Each structure stands twice: as structure tokens, then as C-alpha cells.
Amino acid sequence: MKTMTGAALWLVRLAYLTFALFPLFWLIRISLTPDNLLYSEGTTIWPSSITLANFTYVIEESPFPVFFGNTVIVSMGTAVAVTLLAAGIGYAFSRFEFAGKRALMVFLVITQLFPLVMVITPLYQLLAPIGLVNTRIGLIVVFTAFNLPFAAFLMHSFYEGIPRELEQAAMIDGCTRFQALILIILPLMLPGIGATLGFVFTAAWSELLFSLMLITSETKKTFAVGLLSFVGKSGVDWGQMMAAATLALIPPAIFFTLIQKYLVGGLTAGAVKA
Amino acid sequence: MAEVLLRQVVKRYGAFQAVHDFDLDIAHEEFVVFVGPSGCGKSTTLRMIAGLEEISGGEIQIGSRVVNDLPPRARNISMVFQNYALYPHMTVRQNQGFGLRMAKRPKEEIEEKVNRASKLLGLREFLSRLPAALSGGQRQRVAMGRAIVRNPDVFLFDEPLSNLDAKLRGQMRTEIKKLHDKVRTTVIYVTHDQVEAMTLADRIVVMRDGRIEQVDTPYEVFHAPASRFVAGFIGSPPMNLIEARTVADGDGISVSAPGWPALPLDPAIFGQVGPDRAVTLGLRPEAIAPERMAGSMARPLAFNADITLVEPLGGEALLFLKMGKDEITARIFRPSTRLAPERDVRFVVDLAEMHLFDAGTGARLNAPRTAIS
């Protein structure tokens, strides 16, 4: 009976994984398919021969390495900026009582209600006079602004999971509030910081709308915008587009591998009685 | 010397006043317990002493230094929290040494003090473990070790045993008592458990609605409760409290309550209580017993009652009697025969153990014990 349930569970997991990962598989499959087989062989699960020509073209002849570099800068910049700011905001929301706190929190939620398309024009008009249009810094500023509210709430909920008594104990043990934050709270916040970094990095990595509108010069494009350049007048160059997209998956994959151990919860276990 | 003085200490949260004009002198090395129902302001008062809550008025001194505006770290206190508040990412050794590391003490001194405290608390084999790998009782010990190691002027305990099961709570209670005998320091201990208060305290502070009801030794709080509230709060099972009236009775005065015979008042104790006054009569369960198993009583008075329920507890038994519309508890030690519900049983009550409280204010009407000899 037990093995039956176990087997059924694995079957469900397998079905889910197949469903979730199939598009990814298809992406890689097409990126490896030679151009001449792409249409002739149709939708066979694996092409009769494979090639790395799409990858060599993307890396050596297309401007994609530059796009990657831009995207890494913008995504990392956004992730770090948002996480630092959200760490401060979340801490204040969690630990301090101040006038207008509730109003401020509601206001942050409200900013999330507007469709992004609505704010593009005003945003452009705001950024243009101060020279932030068509710059990577401009993108970082805009992404940071839009990701900050959610990240602040995420951080807030992680802070709420850490008992106040821990800081109080530390402050009695000789810490200032800031020392208690750095020595006691920060190590316990690593899962929250990891989650926030990961969330914001991914969001910024694949952002298209603002990058498309705010960046015009070829040397500052992010890869999401760059992908569109494979859509030509005469048709879409699927193989190269998929090769570029496959490469674009690598940085987030590396990033998540690095932070994944902090994403595992349970670090606060044993601090207080549950 | 670390006495703690509280002068007219007040705590307000907006319009709500949590603590009213709290006045208390705590002597050097004294063990004082704040006890009261939840919401009585006992934890708030403790946290004001710790510096975790600002005080809205009054003055707090620790060791003759006014600490009103000092942050917790500058007050030289230690605190043990109800949920232990151990640093989860530090080992038992690091947890205990944290305060000394913050004070930048030399490594050897930290090592030595942590080892000494760990020996005292039986923690030596756990020094390298993280809090998550410890049982509740062990975590409690680490929290106490962390408090002791710093050699503070005052120990503060905030309901430290509330998260432990009954058996462990009893054990740890004894350990805290022994610990205080070894490490003589001023202790302020907050609990809602009157048994902890009775067993641990040099003096008990009974609180209610942000005010002190009584400050006294456990013996006095039990035997001479200052108010009806204290009488009902301290003691388990609680004192029987019966609404009654005083009536003129020949030369003297007696208490009349429905279902009870007239209970004559001893003029030496109740001289100032006049007739025709609404009072609350207080009788401890230990002061009432069936006549056939009653021990010696100073002023026994017999009456008849029905036993409606018996709770045998082994070494003792609780009897529930119906008197008028009140249910009265009697507590029998070492019951000699099997007890069962029974009608019309002959009981005795010891009138020397009688307490009277004003029905309106709840204030105690017995003459002060020192006045009686």
C-alpha cells in the first residue's frame, strides 16, 4: 500500500515536471537543429542530426554578448538595490511604530495596481530631461521603483518570522539596535534576502516592456529586446533565437544555484519554542 | 549593591494606562515575584525595568543609578524570556558567551565563565550544539546560563517556565531556587502561576489592572491577603468567597450567610467591624473538614452540609459542599476513609481562619496580624 502511494506520487511529480520542462526542452531542441531540418522534419522529438552553428553565430557574430553584459549589469544592479532598500523598509515596517505607517503600506500596495503600460509615457517624460533615457542606470532606477513594493512586503514577512525577543535579548546582552540587526537578525534573514534577490533578479532579467521603450541604442539593449532582432522582414530565425534564449537561461541558473542554500527555510528553528 | 527602586512608575499606551503609579523598593539580592492574571501589567513593568519599554512617568533606579533613559545594554541586567530567545545560528557556547564578547572581554575569561556556568547548569556536554538540537528544558538552561555568565546586577525572568510541561516546570522551579542560593543576585521574576510565586519569592507583588494589590512575603500574602482579589488569586484550590452580612448577635457581632449558621466574630480581630454591613466572607478550603476527620482547630464551629462531589487526589481530597446557592470547597489531608457524596454530613469550620473583606471595595477587614498577640 505504501509503495503504491509512493509510486503514484512519483508519477504525479513526473507528469508535472514533464509539463513544466517541455517548453525548455523544445527551446534547446530547436537551438540544436540545423536550419535545413527545422521545417523538413517537423515536430519529431529529436532531429536526425544536431549542430552548434546557431550558438557559434550568436556568440561570435551577433551583438548578443553585449546584450548579455547589459542585462547582467541591469539585473544585478536592480536586485542589489531593491534588496538593500527592501531590507530597510521591511525592518521599519516590522519593528517600528510610526505615524502614517498603515497609510504608507496601503500606498505601496496601490502602486502595484496600475498597469505598467499606463505609466510608460509619463515615465519617459520624467526620465528624458534628467538624461536617464537610453541608459542602463535609468533602467535600474525604473526596475527598482517597480519591484520595491513587493520586495518590501516579502522582506517584511520574513522579519515577522523572526521573534522580537531575539533582538531584545541581544540589546540586553550589550548590542545597540544596529548591532543586533547585523549580528543576530541578518544571519537569520539570509533566506529572505536570497528569496528577494532571486525574485527581483529574475523579474529584471526577463523584463521587456520598459527596456523596449527606454533603450534605443544597440549597445545598451538588454537581451529580451535583442531577441526581437531575430524577427526579420523575411521571417524569424528560429534556430538563432532559441540559441540566444538558451544562453540567456544560464545566468539565472547560476544565480539560483548560488543562492539556493539560503532559500531553504528552517534556519530559525530552535530560537524559540514553536 | 544592586537594589532596584521604582518610583511612581507609569506606562501609557495612548489613552490606555497599563501601569499606575508603581512604587516598590527591591533590596539587594532579594528574589521578588510579580504575579497576577494576564494583562495586569506585570510583564510591562518588568520590560520597563529592562529598558525594552519606555516609561511614561516616574523613575526607575538600579543600584542607585537612575536608568530611565539608559538603553538596555547600559543597565547591567540579564533577562530570561518565556520563549528563551536563544540565537539560533550560534552554538550553546557562543550563545552564553555573546554578552561577554560584546563587552570585549578576553577570550580566556569568556571561556572560563562559560565553562563555569555550563557546569553549574549541567550543560557541558551540549556546548557545541545549536539550540535546535536541544530539548525545551535544556534551552531554558542555556538561557539561564547566558544570563548568569554576564554577572549582572539584576536578573529579570519573564514567565520563564510557561513553555515547559508540568513535570519539567516543577524541576526547573527547584533549580532556579537553588541557583539563586548559589548565585546571590537581585531577581525580579514575572509569572501568572501563584505556585511559582509562593515557592520562589522572598516577597510577592500581586498585581491587578496595572496596580499593586499587595506586596508581602508568601506567608503573609497567603495568610493575610490584603484584598478579596489577592485572597481569590493566591492559593490552590482558591479561597471560598461568600457574600454575607454582619448582624448584631447578643453582645457581639456575627456573620450571616445563606445556608450557614451564624458565625460569631472574634472582637480581637474584627473589633472595628460594625453590624449590618455587606461583607465577603473568606474561608480557605483547609479550614473546613468533616467533623469525623477534622484535626485540631483553634475555634471550631459545627454545621451540617451535603457533599455533592468528591475529588480524590491521593494524599488529599477535595470535597464540594452546597451551602445556600454557593458551592464550597473543603480540602482534606490524608483522608482516612473512602469519601463519597453524602447527605447531611457534620462539618466543622475553624473561625480563627476566617477572613472578611468589604463587599464594595474588597479591602481586608481583619485587624493587622501584628496587632493580635
CB contact under 8 A, B52 and A171: yes
- Closest residue in A to B131 (Cα) is A270
Q: Compute chain A's Rg from CA coordinates.
A: 23
- Strand B186-191 to strand B31-35: parallel, antiparallel, or no bridges (unpaired)? parallel
Each residue's pLDDT tens digit in chain A (274 positions)?
A: 667 788 899 999 999 999 999 999 999 988 888 877 777 777 777 888 888 888 888 888 888 888 888 999 999 999 999 999 999 999 999 999 899 999 999 998 888 888 878 888 888 898 889 988 888 999 999 999 999 998 999 899 889 989 999 999 999 999 999 999 999 999 999 888 888 888 899 889 888 888 888 888 888 888 888 888 777 767 778 888 888 889 888 888 888 787 776 665 534 444 454 4
Q: Which amino acid is at B263?
A: L
Per the DSSP assignment, residues forming a β-bridge with A69 are none
CB contact under 8 A, A271 and B84: yes
Residues B191 and B107 in one domain: yes
Whether the CA torsion A220, A223, A228, A232 is positive or negative: it is: positive
Please provide the average confidence, as pLDDT, over all residues in chain B. 92
- Closest residue in A to B102 (Cα) is A174
CB contact under 8 A, A170 and B87: yes
- Say what the ipTM of the complex is: 0.86
Window 156-175 of B, Cβ < 8 Å to A: 163
Question: pLDDT tens for residues B214-273?
Answer: 999 999 999 999 999 999 999 989 999 999 999 998 888 999 998 899 999 998 898 888
Specify the residue for cell string 530560537. Answer: A271
Q: Are B362 and B280 in contact (CB under 8 A)?
A: yes
Maximum Cα–Cα distance for chain A, whole Å?
Answer: 75
CB contact under 8 A, A168 and B71: no
- Closest residue in A to B99 (Cα) is A173
Question: pLDDT tens for residues B50-69?
Answer: 999 999 999 999 998 999 99
- Is 70 exceeded by the pLDDT of residue B353? yes
Please tell me which of B197-201, B296-300, B324-328 the model is most confident about, judged by mean pLDDT: B197-201
Residues B130 and B249 in one domain: no
Residues B211 and B252 in one domain: no
CB contact under 8 A, A179 and B77: no
A112 and chain B: CB distance < 8 Å anywhere?
no
Residues B128 and B76 in one domain: yes
Residue B197 belongs to domain with CATH number: 3.40.50.300
Among A173, A174, A271, the residue with its CB nearest the CB of B131 is: A271
Residues B222 and B367 in one domain: no
What residue ranges define each of the domains in chain A, with the CATH number in brackets? 68-235+247-263 (1.10.3720.10)
Q: Are A201 and A78 in contact (CB under 8 A)?
A: yes
Residues B149 and B183 in one domain: yes
pTM value is 0.83
CB contact under 8 A, A184 and B130: no
Give Cα separations from A175 to A92, A172, B104, B152, B158 (angstroms): 18, 7, 12, 15, 20
Residues B160 and B265 in one domain: no
Given B174, B198, B233, which residue is the final one in a domain?
B233
Residues B182 and B102 in one domain: yes
Q: What is the pLDDT of residue B251?
A: 86
- Closest residue in A to B162 (Cα) is A273
A264 and chain B: CB distance < 8 Å anywhere?
no
CB contact under 8 A, B73 and A273: no
B chain contacts of residue A169, beta-carbon cutoff 8 Å: 79, 81, 85, 87, 146
Give Cα separations from B195 to A47, A70, B101, B236, B262 (angstroms): 80, 69, 37, 8, 34
Given B190, B210, B233, which residue is the final one in a domain?
B233
Residues B190 and B260 in one domain: no
Best interface-test mutation with B: which of A162, A173, A186 has the largest number of B CBs within 10 A? A173
Report residue B50: phi and psi, to 5°. Answer: -75, -20
Residue B351 belongs to domain with CATH number: 2.40.50.140
- Strand B186-191 to strand B154-158: parallel, antiparallel, or no bridges (unpaired)? parallel
Distance from CA of B293 to the nearest CA of A (A): 46
Distance from CA of B131 to the nearest CA of A (A): 5
Q: Are B146 and B95 in contact (CB under 8 A)?
A: yes
CB contact under 8 A, A175 and B50: no
Among B85, B89, B146, the residue with its CB nearest the CB of A272 is: B85
Among B81, B146, B163, the residue with its CB nearest the CB of A165 is: B81
Number of domain units in chain B:
2
**Looking at per-residue confidence, does A78 or B368 come out higher?**
A78
Q: What is the pLDDT of residue A265?
A: 52
Given B188, B208, B233, which residue is the final one in a domain?
B233
Q: What is the pLDDT of residue B48?
A: 96
Q: Which amino acid is at B144?
A: M
B137 and chain A: CB distance < 8 Å anywhere?
no
Q: What is the pLDDT of residue B1?
A: 67
Residues B122 and B60 in one domain: yes
Residues B169 and B274 in one domain: no
CB contact under 8 A, B88 and A188: yes
CB contact under 8 A, B88 and A267: yes
- Strand B77-80 to strand B154-158: parallel, antiparallel, or no bridges (unpaired)? parallel
The whole domain housing B321 covers: 240-371
B102: confidence class by pLDDT, cuts 50, 70, 90: very high
- Is 90 exceeded by the pLDDT of residue B197? yes
Is omega for the bond preceding B267 within 30 degrees of 0, making it cis?
no
Q: What is the pLDDT of residue A264?
A: 57
Best interface-test mutation with A: which of B84, B134, B146 has the largest number of A CBs within 10 A? B84
- Closest residue in A to B149 (Cα) is A173
Question: pLDDT tens for residues A181-212?
Answer: 999 999 999 888 888 888 899 889 888 888 88
Q: Which amino acid is at B317?
A: A
User: What letters, b where the CB count within 10 A reaches 16 and e where it falls short, cover A241-263?
Assistant: bbbbbbbbeebeeebeeebeebe
Residues B280 and B337 in one domain: yes
CA distance B77 to B58: 20
Distance from CA of B315 to the nearest CA of A (A): 34
Question: pLDDT tens for residues B106-159?
Answer: 999 999 999 999 998 889 999 999 999 999 889 999 999 999 998 899 999 999
